[in-house]
Structure 1
Amino acid sequence: MINSSLILAIQSAAPATPEWTPMVGLTMILCNLLAIAIGYWGIKKESRGKG
């Protein structure tokens, strides 16, 4: 009972989100590829850094 009322409270407070379109999907894919490239570049140096 408490869980359902909590979900209803959160649902009413959450902002409406736009529908997914191919452009939104393309943006997400490009951002993920950029993040992977940055991670690959930053992590490729083995045994460096603290720890």
Structure 2
Amino acid sequence: MADLVWFIAVAIGPLMLGAAIAYAMLRQRRLSAREKHEQNDAVRHLYENGRR
């Protein structure tokens, strides 16, 4: 029984972690040019006005 637990932890665990990371990377959406521009404007606004 202990051998099975170690097999799962050592062999299957990293495979599942790699699959989860690959899935997350494939699901990540790129920003459009308009969204990038809006994001940059918002960041610039935050830096100029800052929290006081």
Q: TM-score, normalised by structure 2?
A: 0.43
Greater fraction helix: 2
Q: TM-score, normalised by structure 1?
A: 0.44
